[in-house]
Amino acid sequence: MATATAPVDGRELNVSVKPKTPKRKEEPHMTTNGDSTPSPHEDQAAPEPITNPTPTPEPAAPELPATPPPAPPARPEPPDPFDPASLRLGADYSEGLGVRKVITTVPNRKPNKSEWFQVRPGEEWRLQTAVLELEKGVERSTYLVAPSLWADLSGEITPALLLTCVNRANDLFIWRVKLPGSDGRSNTWTDSALQIAKAAETTWCRMVSDTTNGIYTHYVPTAELPDPKWPDLSFNEIIKLGFRGRMIDSLDHPILRELRGGA
pLDDT at residue 54 in the model: 65
Within 104-253, residue ranges assigned H as helices are 188-199, 235-242
pLDDT at residue 182 in the model: 73
Rounded CA-CA distance 120/163 in Å is 7
For residue 202, pLDDT beyond 80:
yes
Which residues make Cβ contacts (< 8 Å) with residue 40, sequence separation at least 6?
Answer: 27, 30
For the stretch 132-135, contacts whose Cβ atoms lie closer than 8 Å and that sit 24 or more positions apart, written own/partner, are: 132/156, 132/157, 132/158, 132/248, 132/255, 133/158, 134/255, 134/259
pLDDT at residue 53 in the model: 60
Mean pLDDT of the chain: 82
